[in-house]
A and B are shown apart, each in its own frame.
Chain A
Amino acid sequence: QVQLQESGPGLVKPSETLSLTCTMSGDSRRWYYWSWIRQSAGKGLDWIGRIDISGNTNYNTSFKSRVTMSVDTSKKQSSLKLSSVTAADTAVYYCATISTAGNFDYWGHGTLVTVSS
């Protein structure tokens, strides 16, 4: 079993950078790929990007110019940075692991980030 926990500020000012961390616990053998996904209030799921344990990334082109992901294997953590945020970036942000089948098999509980001055 894998547990994921997102953490970070719940309030970010417009034009600033959103920074979140996902910490994994449990069966680390499952840890190769993971992703960040967000969901605006009442809306669907948006895939933001993927990172592997070597730090190789693949970002959704919709976010590509603003997103940076990183990984710290010693801490079993992945980080998300989203720059130049606006109110449209207000959402619940989830981290999730990606299985070999290409689905998201373990999810964190999600963390709400509000962009407001």
Chain B
Amino acid sequence: SYVLTQSPSVSVAPGQTARITCGGSNIGGKSVHWYQQKPGQAPLLVVSDDSDRPSGIPERLSGSNSGNTATLTISRVEAGDEADYYCQVWESNSDHYVFGSGTKVTVL
């Protein structure tokens, strides 16, 4: 089965840039979606199709995808960005949806 690998945690100071990576075999050939989940809340789609932002998501959140790594970048980090972030793909061979293990972003 297809596996997505994320680092468990990232720490960043306010105003700095956080980069969250999602590794997978030839992930650049797939569409990657990113979710933000705050404690006690359902996940929220923040990036779709590698780099598209749904309505209402700030431009500070951006995505890219190439080779074996997809990246969610949070620029000018704010305290409100502290959350767990998950990547997700649809794996066509199995017709399954796969989530990464999640990355906890801590704002120092």
Contacts and interface: CB of A to CB of B under 8 A. Distances in A.
Interface of A: 35, 44-47, 50, 58, 60-61, 94, 98-99, 101-105, 107-110
Interface stretch (B11-19, B21-29, B72-80, B93-101): B93-101
Contacts of A110: 42
Query: Which A-B residue pairs are the 5 nearest by beta carbons?
Result: A102-B90, A103-B33, A107-B42, A45-B99, A47-B97
Contact of A103 (B1, B42, B48, B95): B48
B81 interface: no
Given A101-B33, A107-B42, A108-B42, A44 B86 contact: yes
Q: Size range of the interface on B?
A: 20 to 34
A94 B76 CA distance: 31
B33 A102 contact: yes
A54 B46 CA distance: 29
Nearest to A50: B97
B99 A47 contact: yes
B102 A45 contact: yes
9 contacts: A35-B97, A44-B86, A45-B86, A45-B102, A61-B94, A99-B48, A101-B49, A102-B97, A103-B48
